[in-house]
């Protein structure tokens, strides 16, 4: 028998590893196809399983801004459903500072992970004249091995997040409590010269944006990129978890989400007269492959709402579109009309269930002081809700979910 050459010996381990990876990829794809088939069956007939609901939104939805566990409207909705005898689990995916573009960019992975039958969206308040469009996924992004790695990183990240001390005072990192903004800016800038910390850089960026000091904001953004202290975003492929964790170590405050970090700098970008450097800086700050374009804010929200619904429909997921507290639901419906003159939404969007939160809040504000319903007034006529305010939203969502379950 002919003995293998030195080259063959050297190539053998690489060929074996390649074959192993190909075999794993094929098996993962087969498992994925089987899971999708079973998911389709479960979505059509949940049987004895709990109804799975995704809640999409910003700080008005997310847990981070609540003072007590369980007081946000998604948590109260889950309790209300189960209390009424409807077995349900509500996954709260609200993130402070996020935008509809970022919510949309994560939705395919969220649908794959949580397999919901219903998605409730309340989004758009943070949208402005910048649209963030996820770039088309590369062949590497579509590999099941890559997705499996990301899933494993997600589990580890989630586990660490549950152990992190959450001592954030709502609004503390957004500059709400700074009476002297210029003086605070100088203090933060001075602190960064001796100890460059991500939390301080984020807060400084936000305050600079409120003062419309765009060039200085860009300077801070570029320094964050140079130091490598980008936000901990587990969506990035092969992100170093240990590096991400080291940024968080020793902080009294839980770091703001990468969405909120991105949000602070994006305001500088929108106000800046020199827009050329910002798209690349924003991509690096967010840590993902994004296309950044500047367009009218209303157009951004409308496009993203329609894209979100089409994606949900392709997965046979029911869409409940909910309006913010005290706001008329008609502007939300306008996002799904071809022209403002139309009385009804376009045929492609007729299956959407629209939920208003205007009469319920009007009645509550007649009998309760405003501070018992809202913690602030960032939205003008509304703000972040208290436990009472969130219970009103949860009740409106509860009625919508019941209507969905009664459908044939």
**pLDDT for residue 255 is more than 60:** no
**pLDDT for residue 393 is more than 90:** yes
341 neighbors 350 (Cβ within 8 angstroms): no
How high is the pLDDT of residue 59? 87
**pLDDT for residue 30 is more than 50:** yes
Mean pLDDT of the region 6-14: 72
**pLDDT for residue 166 is more than 50:** no
Does 232 or 188 have the greater pLDDT score? 188
Q: State the pairing for strand pair 290-293/131-134.
A: antiparallel
Percent of the chain residues topping a pLDDT of 70: 69
Mean pLDDT of the region 205-228: 83
How high is the pLDDT of residue 390? 96
**Most confident by average pLDDT, 37-51, 104-118, 143-157, 321-335:** 321-335
Does 358 or 214 have the greater pLDDT score? 358
Mean pLDDT of the chain: 77
How high is the pLDDT of residue 55? 95
Per-residue pLDDT of 59-112, as tens digits, reads: 899 887 676 768 899 999 999 999 999 999 999 888 877 889 889 988 998 898
How high is the pLDDT of residue 369? 94
How high is the pLDDT of residue 137? 62
How does 237-273 read in b/e, with b if 16+ C-beta sit within 10 Å? bebeeeebeebbeeeeebbbbbbbbbbbbbbbbbebe
**CA distances (Å), origin 271, targets 189, 218, 249, 326:** 21, 11, 33, 29
Mean pLDDT check: name the lowest of 6-10, 283-287, 356-360: 6-10
Mean pLDDT check: name the lowest of 33-42, 146-155, 296-305: 33-42
Mean pLDDT of the region 53-58: 94
Tally of CA atoms within 13 A in the half-sphere of 360 that contains its CB: 19
* Cα–Cα distance, 141 to 130 (Å, whole number): 25
Mean pLDDT check: name the lowest of 45-59, 235-249, 328-342: 235-249
**pLDDT for residue 32 is more than 70:** no
Mean pLDDT of the region 336-340: 86
Helix pair angle (73-83, 387-405), 10° resolution: 50
pTM check: above 0.85: no
**pLDDT for residue 310 is more than 80:** yes
Mean pLDDT of the region 196-206: 77
Mean pLDDT of the region 38-51: 51
**pLDDT for residue 236 is more than 50:** no
Tokens 């933060």 belong to residue: 188
How high is the pLDDT of residue 326? 96
Tokens coding 349: 């969007």
Does 187 or 177 have the greater pLDDT score? 187
How high is the pLDDT of residue 102? 84
Grade residue 385 by pLDDT with cuts at 50, 70 and 90.
very high
* Cα–Cα distance, 80 to 71 (Å, whole number): 12
């Amino acid at each position: 028998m002919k003995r293998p050459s030195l080259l063959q010996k050297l190539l053998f381990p690489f060929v074996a590893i390649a074959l192993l990876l190909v075999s794993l990829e094929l098996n993962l794809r087969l498992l994925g196809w089987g899971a999708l088939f079973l998911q389709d069956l479960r979505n059509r007939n949940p049987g004895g399983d709990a109804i799975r609901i995704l809640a999409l939104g910003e700080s008005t939805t997310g847990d981070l801004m609540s003072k007590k566990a369980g007081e946000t409207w998604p948590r109260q909705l889950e309790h209300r459903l189960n209390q009424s005898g409807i077995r349900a689990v509500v996954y709260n995916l609200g993130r402070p500072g996020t935008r509809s573009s970022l919510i949309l960019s994560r939705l395919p992975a969220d649908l794959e992970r949580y397999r919901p039958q219903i998605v409730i969206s309340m989004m758009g308040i943070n949208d402005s004249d910048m649209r963030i469009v996820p770039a088309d996924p590369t062949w590497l992004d579509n590999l099941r091995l890559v997705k499996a790695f990301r899933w494993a990183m997600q589990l580890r990240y989630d586990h660490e997040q549950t152990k992190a001390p959450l001592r954030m005072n709502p609004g503390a990192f957004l500059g709400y409590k700074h009476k002297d903004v210029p003086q605070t800016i100088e203090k933060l800038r001075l602190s960064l010269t001796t100890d460059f910390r991500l939390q301080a850089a984020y807060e400084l960026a936000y305050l600079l944006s409120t003062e419309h000091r765009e060039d200085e904001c860009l300077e801070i953004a570029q320094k964050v990129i140079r130091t490598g202290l980008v936000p901990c975003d587990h969506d990035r492929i092969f992100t170093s978890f240990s590096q991400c964790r080291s940024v968080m170590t020793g902080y009294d405050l839980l770091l703001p989400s990468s969405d909120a970090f991105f949000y602070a700098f994006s305001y500088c970008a929108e106000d800046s007269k020199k827009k050329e450097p910002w798209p690349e800086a924003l991509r690096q700050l967010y840590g993902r492959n994004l296309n950044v374009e500047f367009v009218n804010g209303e157009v951004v929200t409308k496009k993203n709402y329609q894209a979100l619904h089409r994606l949900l429909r392709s997965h046979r997921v029911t869409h409940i579109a909910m309006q913010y507290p005290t706001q008329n639901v008609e502007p939300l419906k306008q996002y799904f009309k071809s022209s403002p003159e139309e009385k009804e939404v376009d045929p492609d969007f007729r299956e959407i269930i629209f939920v208003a939160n205007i009469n319920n809040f009007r009645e509550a504000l007649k009998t309760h002081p405003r501070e018992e319903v809202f913690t602030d007034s960032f939205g003008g006529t509304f703000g972040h809700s208290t436990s009472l305010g969130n219970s009103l939203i949860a009740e409106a969502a509860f009625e919508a979910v019941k209507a969905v379950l009664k459908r044939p």
